[in-house]
Amino acid sequence: MLLEACLGGEVWMILRDRECFDEDTTKFITGCVLEAFGYLHSRGIIYRDIKPENLLLDANGYVKLVDFGCSKRLGYSSKTWTFCGTPEYVAPETILNKGHDRAVDYWALGILMHELLTGNPPFTASDPMKTYNLILKGIDMIDFAKHHIGRAAQSLIKKLCRDAPSERLGYQKGGIQDIKKHKWFQGFDWDGLVNQTLPSPIRQPVRGCCDTTNFDCFGKDNDIPPDELSNWDLEF
């Protein structure tokens, strides 16, 4: 998929350098993701791979959702059974192969909030299987870092990360508006976000349409692969 260049850098890189974000920055990023989910879900598309690495900033500091490799046009009353996503963000129903739908995106939104506020997702272990076992124990088993996550933020994360998909905020009758009305977002300028008049708390310097300085620099790979001369396809 061809998108415009987002030269403000990766949210993951900025989070790595800062270690964690304050609540205002987390609200802005989460709000951008929520608007993207609203757009996708209204068209019957589930995303399934939310994480800081898949969030890029444009020149104005607004967040763009990228990498739709796990996305699927599902419709409004169907489920899918494909096991995909990043281990720390996978919802319980995906692990248990019960079939899943857009509810997995609301689960992942709660995980994203926790990682943005603390620098780490709530469920993490040395290998994926251990991570999945932690996820199945549930969000209520997590000790929240109170100096990073206030009561309102903790409340929203827990409501997004309910074990039962039908109980998750955003999946119920009020839809995404239920998330926007949560007390953690009290006073947030949703109209300003949609109209892009709300100043972004992360504004990276972008000096032109070819400025890549907000991304990590990697050395040039000078290795030349050897010619393949086995003639395996001679009679193909």
Residues designated as active site: 49
**Residue appearing with tokens 């943005």:** 116
| Tokens standing for residue 187 | 């006073």
Report the distance separating Cα 44 and Cα 55, nearest Å. Answer: 21
- Among the listed residues 55, 121, 52, the one whose alpha carbon sits nearest the alpha carbon of residue 91: 121
Q: Which residues pair with 100 in a beta bridge?
A: 80
Give the chain as a DSSP string: ------TTEEHHHHHHHHSS--HHHHHHHHHHHHHHHHHHHTTTEE----SGGGEEE-TTS-EEE---TT-EE--SS--B----S-GGG--HHHHTTS-B-THHHHHHHHHHHHHHHHSS-SS--SSHHHHHHHHHH-GGG----TTTS-HHHHHHHHHHT-SSGGGSTTTSTTTHHHHHTSGGGTT--HHHHHHT-SPPS------STT--TTS-------PPPPP--S-TTTT-
